Chains A and B, each alone.
Chain A
Amino acid sequence: MSKMHVKLTVNGKAVEALAEPRTLLIHFLREELGITGPHIGCESSHCGACTVDMGGRSVKACTMFVAQANGAEITTVEGLAAADGTLHPLQEAFREHHGLQCGYCTPGMITRAYRLLQENPSPTEAEVRFGLAGNLCRCTGYQNIVKAVLAAAPVMQAQKEAAE
């Protein structure tokens, strides 16, 4: 099958490759780039394990082609920690509040929460639950995930204010 030329930015790095037009973004990230944080859980957009951030939106990388990401800026869970290795407040909060167990949903969950808290910097519990409804978790029952996101919100706010 003929290949197409794709150029995108992933976690701040420019990436260029030839890919079959039908290549799914998740396979491109995981198999071409070795970015294995985003996972595959359902291949039908239901579970959100593959969630990445694309151009300021949460997208499910299992149901979009890499061709659709051409020219885009993509952030995965691997791109959330600071350059010096300092963990993102969400990464800290998930550990602190036991917001994960098997860890399989975690990259997608954190990446979704990262966008949610930019869309709504001080959400209520109900808003967090609604905002994460596209990401399934089989282990935690969400309670501690919600707790972690609510705890990370003011930290992210403070960091944003400090940066401004």
Chain B
Amino acid sequence: MNEMIPPAGDRAAALKGLGSSRKRVEDVRFTQGKGAYVDDIKLKDMVFGDFVRSPYAHARVVSVNKEAALAVPGVIAVLTAEDLAPLGLHWMPTLAGDRQMVLADGKVLYQGQEVAFVVAENRYACADAIELVEVDYEALPVVTDPFKALEPDAPVLREDLAGKTEGAHGPRRHHNHIFLWEQGDRAATEAVIDGADVVAEERIHYHRTHPCPLETCGCVASMDKITGKLTLWGTFQAPHAVRTVASLISGIAEHNIRVISPDIGGGFGNKVGVYPGYVCSIVASIVTGRPVKWVEDRMDNLMTTAFARDYWMDGRIAATKDGRITGLWCHVTADHGGFDACADPTKFPAGFFNICTGSYDIPVAYVGVDGVYTNKAPGGVAYRCSFRVTEAAYFIERMVDILAIKLGMDPVELRLKNFIRKDQFPYHSALGWEYDSGDYHTAMEQALAAVDYKGLRAEQAERLEAFKRGESRSLMGVGVAFFTEIVGAGPVKNCDILGLGMFDSCEIRIHPTGSAIARLGTISQGQGHATTFAQILASEIGIPADDITVEEGDTDTAPYGLGTYGSRSTPVAGAATAMAGRKIRAKAQMIAAYLLEVHDDDVEFDVDRFQIKGAPERFKTMKEIAFAAYNQAIPGLEPGLEAVSYYDPPNMTYPFGAYICVMDVDVDTGVCDVRRVYALDDCGTRINPMIIEGQVHGGLTEALAIAMGQEIAYDEDGNVTTGTLMDFFIPTAVETPHYETDHTVTPSPHHPIGAKGVGESPNVGGVPMFSNAVMDAFKPFGLTHAHMPHDHWRVWRIANGLGLHG
């Protein structure tokens, strides 16, 4: 009889559980054009809404005349702040504890700001009417430079905050100042720096950019006046949080609001925030009694919803003569735009920027971040990174390279010398984090061997000599970055957004015939949750992944959770999934024992069944157990096989990686040809290697874009000069290099399956890798640092400034 039982390995493979490169279940729909994104929704009597936006970056709104617009056939309503004021909805709270105008209330603070909301029968009538809304503006002085914004005589941007010396995050010392957030020991750090053998100092700008998912933000709001229920479909990375916030600001009871995130065409942080379009659509649906659709166009998206970065980071790093880092000091001037709408956990107004000691054992450190208002769009989202982690990683990885130059050391040697050692984990950083696990030396050594680092340096030296002899006009750069992320927010004791604790959830129902449905508080935007969460469960409960439906995004059915961003789905909801699975398994064990007529402790789980210990030929499969759970009276047990888990992680997870690229920089054209990219990621336990690699490719491409050209730029008058895809760089297949991926596995000790999250790592590690390569190419000519993005013109200018054009 024993021979009849397939080997455990075969049975495990059939489950397509953890570690399987299972093909994605989502793709069957997506490859046939059967995705259902928000703009695909068409409801009976649905109308369209869109905004009149400010052409000025700073102006008083003297008057708004709707008359001509309302005369356009098909136009139903034109809403202004005056119309929203009686409802108290002309302003809304931001995620950062500030407030933001929904529609211009007396003034505008950035170009593209929402001034009026036009509702019409169709998109075309709506667009016609927008042109006809007459707004009388009185231009005010514009300030787009955060340093100038803090000068004593700078224009007052936020008149609504006049006299308020205390903000959501402590004292404000100037009318355009938002907060100062400090971490670490300033005095001790400065003492170390003052007495250090070597100090490297630099101002590093991580420029303003934008997540720019291919699908813009949008929603459909439908208020059913008969039932009093509001249904809101939208591009929401956190549907439950949107429901709670919508209830709190609208006064509609939470049970009467149903928020649905349908398929989402990429998020990358853009779809975390709450935007005026959502509020106006809800109000318009209440006012008109009809469903209202609002979908941004690309310019609206780039100009107004959710910029990222814009950090001016002044750094000092101290070391001994032989290259032992002794201290790190950093002050950030953070440009938050007209309103502080940063998407960070409440207690972290600069996110987790204090991960900026990176992968290094730095005894003492200090960080201070000043948030500043300017005449730019609000946002400050985590663009494919955990909160401000990419800024932190860029800062430390540039500072280490700059220090290496000062010490005359190879940047890899300096890194190896200062890495946190494997035996130091769990490691307490000088800025307050407890790194869960890591093995940095192994990862770095594996990367160096894979690319033949010594060989690359020798080739670089040869090419440099050829350049100096006039035989070549190109310089070779080797970019190295070693990053540590902090993801999976987070423990509820530390992390909340607007008071909502950042746990996550999974609810599982096993059907009588042994298939299942799992619902989660997260929402996929391309990550493949329907595929991977089923894999976690398959391994936990022994039901094939193909027999498990994963559903997310409908607040009426899914358990409450805080959504998908900051690489938190796997660390938090993935953990909830495993824990809920274990509850299922615990009950299944009791059922199996009853069916096998033995004590609970006499049976053990084996891949897809419970068997009697020492007698594996006597077993009950999970399928049999499921049927019995519903259809057999078992003394002392309720019928059914369901479980739910709300998981509050004990700590964050700390994925890391070693990235190396090779670039040829043409000094005459400024073109940087990326000829090799190697990325080693350690994200702990790997759930689906195919999906991990895909995420790494994508994140590296976003990093390439950011480092090499992607920027939200403003002119002195506050005009956005990169508001279309003509000017805002997104690499095509031609500019994008081929990627080599690799991995080590250092499981998280506190996560139920040891997984850490990976989607954002390549953006966090990729940006310093590409930027360091450009700097490295010019290093022999005295360059220590130049600001990103390294587009052709700026690189040409570096070469020119170094006298390389003769």
In the assembled complex, the Cα of A105 lies from the Cα of B724 at a distance in Å of: 18
Check A154 for interface membership: any CB of B closer than 8 A.
no
A109-144 near B? 1/0 per residue, CB < 8 Å: 010000000000000000011101111111111111
Q: Which listed residue (B40, B298, B697) contacts A140, Cβ 8 A?
A: B697
* Given contacts A42-B298, A49-B214, A138-B730, A101 and B123 within 8 Å (CB-CB): no
Residue of B nearest to A93 (CB): B31
Contact check, B734 vs A44: say whether CB atoms are below 8 A apart: no
Query: Which B1-41 residues have C-beta < 8 A from chain A?
Result: 23-24, 26-37, 39-40
CB of B391 within 8 A of chain A?
no
Query: How does the 8 Å CB contact mask read for A70-101 relative to B, with 1 for contact and 0 for none?
Result: 00000011101100000100110011101011
B37 with A104: CB separation less than 8 A? yes
- In whole angstroms, what is the CA distance A38 to B607 when docked? 43
Inter-chain contacts of B295 with A (CB < 8 A): 40
List CB contacts (< 8 Å) of A132-160 with chain B.
132-146
Given contacts A96-B23, A106-B31, contact A141 B265 (CB under 8 A): no
B718-746: contact bitstring with A at CB < 8 Å (1 yes, 0 no)? 00000011100010111010110000000
User: What's the Cα separation between A130 and B726 when bound, in Å?
Assistant: 18
Q: Cβ of A101 and Cβ of B526 under 8 Å apart?
A: yes
Q: Does B781 contact A (CB under 8 A)?
A: no
Q: Do B32 and A91 touch across chains, with their CB atoms under 8 A apart? A: yes
B270 to chain A, nearest CB (A): 10
Docked pose: A146 CA to B694 CA in angstroms: 13
C-beta contact mask, B25-60 vs A, less than 8 Å → 1, else 0?
011111111111101101000000000000000000
B residues in contact with A46, CB < 8 Å? 724-726, 730
Q: Is the CB–CB distance between B697 and A105 below 8 Å?
A: no
Which of A77, A104, A128, A146 makes the CB contact (< 8 A) with B215? A104
Given contacts A132-B733, A133-B732, contact A78 B725 (CB under 8 A): no
Q: Is the CB of A39 within 8 A of B213?
A: no
Contact, CB under 8 Å: B525 / A102 = yes
Query: A94 with B31: in contact, given A102-B265, A129-B734, A143-B738 (CB under 8 Å)?
Result: yes
- In the complex the two chains form, is A41's CB within 8 Å of B298's CB? yes
Between A37, A80, A102, A139, the greatest number of chain B beta carbons within 10 A of the residue's beta carbon is seen for: A102
A34–B297 Cα distance when bound, in Å, is 20
Shortest beta-carbon distance from B556 to chain A in Å: 24
Which of B213, B733, B738 interacts with A102 by CB under 8 Å?
A: B213
**Interface pick from B420-428, B698-706, B796-804:** B698-706
Which residue of the partner chain A has the closest CB to B732? Answer: A133
CB pair A103 B23 closer than 8 Å: no
Which of B40, B698, B739 interacts with A139 by CB under 8 Å?
B698
Given contacts A27-B123, A34-B42, A143-B739, contact A98 B698 (CB under 8 A): no
Query: In terms of DSSP, what is the predominant structure of the interface of chain B?
Result: loop
Interface size of A in residues (CB-CB distance below 8 Å): 59
Determine if B212 is an interface residue (Cβ-Cβ < 8 Å): yes
Which chain B residues border A36 with CB–CB below 8 Å? 33, 36-37, 39-40
Q: Is A47 an interface residue (CB 8 A)?
A: yes
Residues B697 and A95 in contact, CB atoms below 8 Å apart: no
CB <8 Å contact, B33 and A37:
yes
Contacts of A34 in B (CB 8 A): 42
Beta-carbon contact of A42 and B725 below 8 Å: yes
A81–B691 Cα gap in the complex (Å)? 25
Chain B residues whose C-beta falls within 8 Å of the C-beta of A110 in the assembled complex: 31
Q: How far is the CA of A105 from the CA of B30 in the complex (A)?
A: 9
Which residues of B are found within 8 Å of A23, using beta-carbon distances?
124
Residue in B693, B695, B734 whose Cβ sees the most chain A Cβ within 10 Å: B734
CB neighbours (8 Å) of B30 from chain A are 100, 103, 106-107
Q: Which residues of A sit under 8 angstroms from B265, Cβ to Cβ?
A: 39, 41, 102-104
Q: How far is the CB of A152 from chain B (nearest CB, A)?
A: 11
Q: Which residue of A lies closest to B703 (CB)?
A: A141
Contact between chains at A37 and B34 (CB < 8 Å):
yes
Nearest opposing residue in chain B for A136, CB measure: B730
> Are A98 and B32 touching (Cβ within 8 A)?
no
Interface pair A141/B730, CB less than 8 Å apart? no
Q: How many contacting A-B pairs (Cβ < 8 A)?
A: 177
Chain B residues in 8 Å Cβ range of A146: 733
Assuming the contacts A49-B214, A96-B23, A141-B701, asked whether A103 and B690 have C-beta atoms less than 8 A apart, the reply is no
Interface string of A56-76 (1 = CB under 8 A from B): 000000000000000000001
Q: Are A107 and B264 in contact (CB under 8 A)?
A: no
B272-298 vs A, CB cutoff 8 Å, 1 = contact: the mask equals: 000000000000000000000001011
Verify A101–B215 contact, CB threshold 8 A: no
Which residues of A are found within 8 Å of B250, using beta-carbon distances? none
Q: Which residues from A are CB-within-8-Å of B212?
A: 138
For residue A145, give the distance in angstroms from its CB to the closest CB of chain B. 7
Query: Would B724 and A39 count as touching, CB distance under 8 A?
Result: no
Given known A-B contacts A78-B32, A100-B30, A138-B268, A145 and B733 have beta carbons under 8 A apart: yes
Given A95-B23, A138-B698, A141-B739: A102 touches B215 (CB 8 Å cut-off): yes
A residues near B549, Cβ cutoff 8 Å: none
Known contacts A46-B725, A133-B733, A142-B733, A40 near B698 by CB under 8 Å: no
| Complex interface: chain B residues within 8 A of A94 (CB) | 27, 31
Q: How far is the CA of A133 from the CA of B732 in the complex (A)?
A: 5
Assess the B40–A103 pair: CB atoms within 8 A: no
A80 surroundings in chain B (CB, below 8 A): 32
Known contacts A95-B31, A102-B264, A138-B702, A41 near B214 by CB under 8 Å: yes
Cα-based distance from A112 to B32 in the complex (angstroms): 14
Contacts of A130 in B (CB 8 A): 733-734
Say yes or no: is B247 at the interface (Cβ < 8 Å to chain A). no
Q: Is residue B621 contacting chain A, with contact meaning CB distance below 8 A?
A: no
Contact (Cβ within 8 A) A101 B297: no
Instruction: Assess whether B515 is interfacial by the CB under 8 Å rule.
Output: no
- Complex Cα distance A98/B30, Å? 12
State how many angstroms separate the Cβ of A70 from the closest Cβ of chain B.
19
- The distance in angstroms between the C-alpha atoms of A147 and B181, with both chains bound, is 47
- B697 & A143 in contact (Cβ 8 Å cutoff): yes
Q: Which of A44, A77, A141 contacts B33 (CB 8 A)?
A: A77
Chain B residues near A44 (CB, 8 Å)?
298, 724-726
Q: What distance in Å separates the Cβ of B94 from its nearest Cβ neighbour in chain A?
A: 25
Contact between chains at A31 and B214 (CB < 8 Å): no
CB distance from B762 to the nearest CB of A (A): 9
For residue B33, which residues in chain A have a CB less than 8 angstroms away from its CB? 35-38, 76-78, 107
- Listed by A's residue number, 27 A-B pairs whose Cβ atoms lie within 8 Å are A30-B39, A36-B39, A37-B32, A41-B298, A90-B31, A98-B23, A98-B691, A98-B693, A102-B214, A103-B26, A103-B263, A104-B213, A104-B214, A104-B526, A106-B35, A107-B33, A132-B733, A134-B732, A136-B214, A137-B698, A140-B698, A141-B697, A141-B698, A141-B701, A141-B736, A144-B694, A146-B733
What is the interface of chain A, defined by CB distance below 8 A to chain B?
20, 22-23, 27, 30-31, 34-44, 46-47, 49, 76-78, 80-81, 87, 90-91, 94-96, 98, 100-107, 110, 128-130, 132-146
